[in-house]
Amino acid sequence: MPPDQHRKLQLTFRSEGFPRGEIPINVLASKLQALQSLIFHAAAAVAPQPTVRRGLWYNRYREAVELLFKTAHHSDLVIEVETPTPGPTLLPENDVALESIDLIFRVGNQIQNNAQQISSEPLRATDRNYLLRAFDWLAPGPLDEYSVELENSSPGRHPKLILSTETRRTIRMLIEQETAPQVAEQKTTLVGELVKIHFGTGPELIAIRHRGIEIECYYSESLRDEVANLMVGSYVEVTGLATVDQEGRIKKIDTVTGIETVSMEPLRMTRLDHSGFRLDFKTPVQVQVEYTDGLWVYRNEALNLLGCGERREDALKDLHANFAYLWQEFAEEEDRVLDSNALMLKRRLIGLQSGEHLAH
């Protein structure tokens, strides 16, 4: 039997925004759940017969691949987990856990090194789609300032996987290639309040309220994991192919290619980076997140800081541009030309500086 080291996995979070490994519990819980989901789907993929992902389908794989917590350590937070040692009901030659771990690292490395070759992996199309979506859940979001590393503790068995926001963009591209039909529909991304979920009954759809209009969004079975974790009343981002009316307004999304809950928790900025000007912060700056009337608003009232945009990426760019303006107009200005409120803002800005200050 292979050494127990082959069964062990390490999940590492790397970020300047998590000093001494102090990662928010909701981020940790989400990524641990994503890792468990990934190995469940890998186990289903290596099974001889296709697995229908309905109900508690993953229970049939718990004995083999339910992850067990072993230990944790930091400065960067490292979580060590492992799959169970095979019991008497599992034949050594049918070690689902090792097959699943091998598959995860093969697919993960293809995503990292050559995305075009992912389809060459001998997998059923449905299984490949589920694996891609599980990797998408494990990877950081588009605005997250951290990376996730996955390693197998057995030395030399598998190259380390490094999942970043760039990795997630690659995964999204692959998912679209896998799922989008070749029809003349408009690709779109909408953000709105989730008002309806049909799960396992009738047409599989969700409905969101976008700018006061309820829009139905139809999803496939491969998105059941994501839908199962949604909550009515939360904000979600839906990407897919849409039907539009003659005025170009979206009537419905016929083919959903991606769904994710939009985090409204404060953004933790670790640095200012704008047009060649960079400032690293001593401690992360928290920025409140709002979504109002189709507009993303990022704000920190103590710093008189605001960023807005129709997309989160645009609001973040605006935030950095306005932060750079504040720094140049107040932090770098002479005290004698500033009034009392401006001097107070200058002291707050200077207090953020870590000592690593780069600019053109």
Q: Would you write out the chain's pLDDT as a tens digit for each of its 360 residues?
A: 445 778 899 999 988 767 666 788 888 999 999 999 999 999 999 998 888 888 789 999 999 999 999 998 877 789 999 998 876 655 555 689 999 999 999 999 988 876 565 666 678 888 988 999 899 999 998 778 889 999 997 767 888 999 998 898 888 888 877 665 544 467 888 999 999 999 877 788 999 998 889 999 999 888 888 888 899 999 999 999 898 887 778 899 999 988 988 888 888 888 888 888 888 888 889 999 998 878 899 999 999 999 999 888 899 999 999 999 999 999 999 999 999 999 999 999 999 886 544 443
Q: Which residues in 14-29 are b (16+ Cβ under 10 Å) and which e?
A: bbebbeebebeeebbe
Closest CA to 296 of 326, 263, 260: 263
In this prediction the pTM is 0.72
Residue whose token pair is 């994991």 = 225
Alpha helices in the chain (DSSP H): 25-46, 62-65, 96-113, 125-138, 165-179, 224-228, 312-326, 340-350
Strand pairing class (250-261; 213-218): parallel
Closest CA to 253 of 205, 202, 199, 203: 205
Q: What is the largest CA-CA distance in the chain?
A: 80
Torsion angles phi and psi, residue 187, rounded to 5: -75, 135
The neighbouring-strand residues paired with 259 are 238
Taken in order of first residue, the domains within the chain and their CATH numbers are 4-179 (no CATH), 186-261 (2.40.50.140), 267-358 (no CATH)
